Amino acid sequence: MRPPYGGSRVSWSRRRGMTTEDTPCDDTLLKAALRGAALQGWTRASLSAIAADAGVSLAEVLRQYPTRAHVLWAWGRAIDRAVLAQGVTLDERESVRDRLFDLLMRRLDALAPDKEALRALLPTFGFDPWMAGAVAMGVSRSMALTLEAAGVGASGPAGHLKVKGLVLIYSHGVRVWLDDDSPDMARTMAALDKALDRADALAGSLFARSGGACCRGKSTDLAAAPEGV
């Protein structure tokens, strides 16, 4: 199994630059929502409950988050910014597959401080299709962003298939990660590594880069782009 960017697995936590006490979500209302969801579940994380927890009026919450879907999308945007804050150097010596691995691991690192909120979110999908749809839309957008950041085109029919493939890989990785409490995230890394290899083998270079010229020593900074968790 390939360590990301040639780095050792032992050093992964040092590369992360984020502890479980940190969070990329610096918005007071968003923090209140994630805190409430982690403690009581998303079914009880109503806008009025968020307002009460944050110590503001419901009108203030509605100005920023008209629905709970907007809360989830804001969370996704915060994660996107955290993942891409350092940019991505598109170097031809590094494979697209390894860049995708690194970006997905960054995403899980950024989600780690609010892991319990995400764990509480998944069971709601079975009885709240509207919430599930909102999350699916956000994740698809974020995976499209991830592909673009890795130098892979995500537009058109071919790009749509790549996005769907990466959504499946990421979703599998998330489910493994939620049950992976090891400091080095070994199970999660193995799951993502295997899934990326399988996708590439089955599809014949599913994640081929969008063009050689765009990848020569350039850096991409897309931290202000779409939302997802």
Q: Is 228 inside any structural domain?
A: no
pLDDT tens digits, 139-196:
999 999 999 999 888 889 989 999 999 999 999 999 999 999 898 899 999 999 999 9
In a domain, 17, yes or no: no
- What integer pLDDT is reported at residue 2 of this predicted model? 46
The answer as to whether 4 is a domain residue is: no
| Residue among 193, 200, 77, 187 at smallest CA distance from 139 | 77
Tens digit of each residue's pLDDT (9 = 90 or more) over 6-45 = 333 333 333 444 433 445 555 889 999 999 999 988 888 8
205 close to 178: Cβ distance less than 8 angstroms: no
Burial tier of 32 (Cβ tally within 10 Å: 0-12, 13-18, 19+)? buried
> Does any domain span residue 16?
no
Domain extent for 66: 24-220
d(Cα 62, Cα 99) in Å, to the nearest integer? 38
* Cα gap 80→110, rounded to integer Å: 9
The Cβ-side half-sphere exposure at 99, using a 13 Å CA radius, reads: 26
* CA dist list (Å): 179 to 43, 115, 187, 188: 22, 10, 9, 9
Task: Give the span between the Cα atoms of 200 and 141, in whole angstroms.
Answer: 21
For residue 226, tell me if it sits in a domain. no
**44: how many CB neighbours lie within 10 A of its CB?**
11
Report the number of distinct structural domains present in the chain.
Answer: 1
Res. 200: pLDDT tops 70:
yes
Q: Is residue 1 part of a domain?
A: no
What integer pLDDT is reported at residue 45 of this predicted model?
86
- Judge whether 15 lies within some domain: no
| pLDDT tens digits for range 75-126 | 999 999 999 987 777 777 788 889 999 999 999 999 999 999 999 998 888 8
Q: Is the pLDDT of residue 52 over 90?
A: yes
Q: What is the DSSP letter of 3?
A: P
Which pLDDT does position 27 carry in this prediction?
82
Structural domain includes residue 5: no
What CATH number corresponds to the domain at position 214?
A: 1.10.357.10
pTM of the model: 0.79
Phi, psi of 89 (to 5 degrees): -85, 120
- Residues 200 and 206 sit within 8 Å (Cβ to Cβ): yes
Q: Convert the pLDDT of each residue in 127-139 to its tens digit.
A: 888 889 989 999 9
